[in-house]
């Protein structure tokens, strides 16, 4: 068998592009963590659920929306035409 030589291509590393949604997602996750920790640490489970239950659905919507935009923004630079 002949030796196969693969040429080395010097290509620059892809540039990382951050959208504001990625920062908002991280900040919102941290805020939600501290908010739930502070709410639950001071009282009972019933008191925590009565306060957090109305916020939970909106928080899930925000997480989902920001996650989708962040994933699309981070993977869109790899798609070539």
How far apart, in whole angstroms, are the C-alpha atoms of residue 40 and residue 46?
Answer: 10
Report how many helices (DSSP H) and strands (DSSP E) the chain contains, helices first: 2, 0
The token duo for 21 is 């949604």
Look at the block and give the residue holding tokens 């923004």: 73
Closest by alpha carbon to 20, among 69, 64, 53, 57?
69
Read off the pLDDT of residues 15-50 as tens digits, 9 standing for 90 and up: 555 677 788 888 988 988 888 887 777 778 887 888
Placement of tokens 């919507």 in the chain: 61
Predicted local confidence at residue 64, as pLDDT = 92
Claim: this prediction has a pTM higher than 0.75? no
Q: What are phi and psi of 7, to 5 degrees?
A: -70, 145
For residue range 68-79, list pLDDT tens digits in order. 988 888 777 665
């Amino acid at each position: 068998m002949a030796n196969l030589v693969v040429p080395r291509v010097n290509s620059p590393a892809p540039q990382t592009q951050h959208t504001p949604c990625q920062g908002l997602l991280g900040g919102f996750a941290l805020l939600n963590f501290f908010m739930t920790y502070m709410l639950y640490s001071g009282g009972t489970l019933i008191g925590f659920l009565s306060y957090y239950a109305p916020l939970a659905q909106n928080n899930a919507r925000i997480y989902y929306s920001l996650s989708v935009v962040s994933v699309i923004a981070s993977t869109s630079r790899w798609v070539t035409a």
